[in-house]
Structure 1
Amino acid sequence: MTIKTFDAFTRLSINDINRITNFLFEYSDEARDTKSAIRKSLLYAAKEIPGLGGYVFVMEYKNEIIGATVVNKTGMNEYIPENILVYIAVETSFREKGIAKALIAHTIAYCDGDISKHINKDNPAIKLFEKQGFKTRNIEMRLVRN
């Protein structure tokens, strides 16, 4: 299985954006974001909306998505990492088979600069990220204005 890479030069089609949005919505263990929020991260990565862009990494098996990662560039460094790994998801029946590990390794190899990942402190995937070299550094506090 290979990992397809999409960025500002290897464009995502509308069909790709819809497929990846639906996949991430269904399989991401992140706090349940809306499909709109997921779609926005994909559009930002693909430079379809103003910003620095980023990357989308997709692994398929028999033309079905089994894993996907979205990375957005922040345009910063030193005080905030240059990249944020926004979403990572693996289809349920393919978990514990090295798909997430391969996606994280690909992300690390492909992205220049530091990479951050917001993750719930109770998420068991923390161990996977630690094995890939990620270290706990900060606790995020957020003021959400509705």
Structure 2
Amino acid sequence: MTIKTFDAFSRLSIIDINRITNFLFEYSDDVRDTKSAIRKSVLYAAKEVPGLGGYVFVMEHNNDIIGATVVNRTGMNEYIPENILVYIAVKTAFREKGIAKALIKHTIKYCDGDISIHINKDNPVVELFEKQGFKSRNIEMRLVRN
């Protein structure tokens, strides 16, 4: 299985944006973001909205998405990583088969600069990220204004 890479130069169609958004909404276990929020990150990565863009990595099997990752570029370095791995998800039936590992390795290879990810400390996938070289460094605290 190959990983398709989308960015500002290899545009996503509206159909693909919707497919990826729906996939991430359904299979991102650790994330409780709205479909709207997920869609915004995909649109930002694909440079369909103003910003620095980023990358969307998709793995398919028989034209069905089985894994996806969204990375947004920050335009910063040293004090904030240049890239934020916003979403990663693997279809339930394909978990424990190396899909997430392949997506993480592809992300590391493809992205220039540091990469950060926000992840729940109790999520078992933390170990997978640690095995790929990610280190716990900070905790995030957020003031949410509704």
Work out whether the TM-score is over 0.5: yes
Match of 2:69 in 1: 69
Amino acid at match of 1:24: L
CA RMSD of aligned residues (A): 0.4
* Other-structure match for 2:9: 9
Task: Give the counterpart letter for 1:31 in structure 2.
Answer: V
Q: Deviations over 1:80-107 (max 9, x none)?
A: 0000000000000000000000000000
* Deviations 1:43-98 (CA, angstroms, capped at 9, x unpaired): 00011101000000000000000000000000000000000000000000000000
Q: How does 1:112-127 map to 2 (within 5 A)?
A: 112-127=112-127
% identical equivalent positions: 87
Distance 1:11 1:51 in 2: 15
Show structure 1 runs of 5+ residues with no match. none
Where 1:124 maps in the other structure, the secondary structure is coil
Deviation at 1:29, TM superposition (A): 1.8
What does residue range 62-141 of structure 1 map to in structure 2 within 5 Å? 62-141=62-141
- The alignment's TM-score, normalised by the length of structure 2, stands at 0.99
For the residue of structure 1 that corresponds to 2:100, the secondary structure is: helix
TM-score, with length taken from structure 1? 0.99
CA distance in 1, matches of 2:45, 2:24: 15
3-state SS of the aligned residue for 1:134?
Answer: coil
Inter-partner Cα distance in structure 1 for 2:63 and 2:43: 22
User: 1:25 maps to which residue?
Assistant: 25
Per-residue deviation, 1:30: 2.4
